[in-house]
Chain A
């Protein structure tokens, strides 16, 4: 099993719909992140959480919300999806004692 699992892998949704992307990890890491990746723009941070009771906005949080249900689970919601939220979304984890991130395989979201 993958260390960081994202579901679904692909999703097509309509404008205005609510959608949730889920992330779970078996690394035992306390820190979790949501990034989106767009061609030519790289990875941009949406939200991050350093423990279950800690949620922080990243550089592009508007239109998104998150929930840290447990140390191992961090979900990202789009309350009312719009076409410019079409992107590849990545969840990542890290540990306060290490440096490198462990990424999931991503969710490709298309909003039509």
Chain B
């Protein structure tokens, strides 16, 4: 069956460092991969999308890579800030606007 795995352990880093979160998947050939941010008690918020034919995507301090051979995406936050502390979810999809399969999320804590 399709499976998505994100870092199960919470990630604790110092302010100013780069946070790197991992998303691995099996038994799936997604057309694209998305990353979301979720704050406690709130719904996830869409951050970035990367398509299967793209290797890397950037948006401000965020960078996402997508390796369809390794079946892995890496999500980087450079110059991290305490305000970046949240849970980050990856999600895979086949069709534009279609249903998504989500990973369980990785909790990121950025200490001042």
B89 at the interface (CB under 8 A from A): yes
Q: Are A31 and B97 in contact (CB under 8 A)?
A: yes
Known: A35-B102, A90-B43. 8 other contacts (CB 8 A): A42-B102, A94-B97, A97-B96, A99-B32, A99-B34, A101-B44, A101-B46, A103-B44
Chain B residues bordering chain A, tally (CB within 8 A): 24
Interface centre among B4, B36, B43, B91, by most chain A C-beta atoms within 10 angstroms, is: B43
CA distance A92 to B98 in the complex (A): 12
- For residue B41, CB closer than 8 A to chain A, the reply is yes
- Secondary structure class of chain B's binding surface, majority of residues: strand
For residue A48, CB closer than 8 A to chain B, the reply is yes
Interface residues of B in 19-71 (CB under 8 A from A): 32, 34, 36, 41-46, 49
Min Cβ gap B108→A in Å is 16
A28-44 near B? 1/0 per residue, CB < 8 Å: 00010101000011111
Number of A interface residues in the complex (CB < 8 A): 27
Report how far A104 CA is from B101 CA in the complex, Å: 17
Among A35, A99, A106, the residue within 8 A (CB) of B97 is A99
Interface string of A78-110 (1 = CB under 8 A from B): 000000000000101011111111111110000
B86 interface residue (CB < 8 Å to A): no
- List 23 A-B residue pairs with CB atoms under 8 Å apart, sorted by A's residue number: A4-B43, A31-B98, A33-B99, A35-B102, A42-B89, A42-B104, A42-B105, A43-B44, A43-B89, A45-B99, A45-B100, A92-B43, A95-B97, A96-B96, A96-B97, A97-B96, A97-B97, A99-B46, A99-B49, A101-B36, A102-B46, A105-B42, A106-B41
A106 in contact with B43 (CB, 8 Å): yes
Contacts of A48 in B (CB 8 A): 99
Q: Which residue of A lies closest to B31 (CB)?
A: A99
A8 partner residues in chain B, CB cutoff 8 A: none
The reply to whether B43 and A104 contact each other, CB–CB distance below 8 Å, is yes
A64 to B4, CA, bound (A): 24
**Is A58 close to B, CB under 8 A?**
yes
| Residues of chain A with a CB closer than 8 A to B46's CB | 99-102
